Amino acid sequence: MQNEEGQNKDLYIPRKYKAINQLITSKDHASVQINVGYIDEQQQQKKKTYPAQ
């Protein structure tokens, strides 16, 4: 894959587990945590997030 400047870019960028400093491979199907913030009437984000289900 190439970007607009014509440089070759990979579709997959390896990431690391923050706690144990190991690579997350492309075949790793571990769960993820997504935090969604509350939005008030003026569409400003509050500091709290929705509780995990």
Q: Residues 6-52: pLDDT tens digits?
A: 887 776 666 777 777 777 776 766 666 676 777 777 776 666 665 65
What global pTM score does this model have?
0.24
Which pLDDT does position 9 carry in this prediction? 76
At a CB cut-off of 8 Å and minimum separation 6, what does 39 contact?
45, 46
Which pLDDT does position 49 carry in this prediction? 60
Which pLDDT does position 11 carry in this prediction? 67
Which pLDDT does position 24 carry in this prediction? 73
Q: What is the largest CA-CA distance in the chain?
A: 44
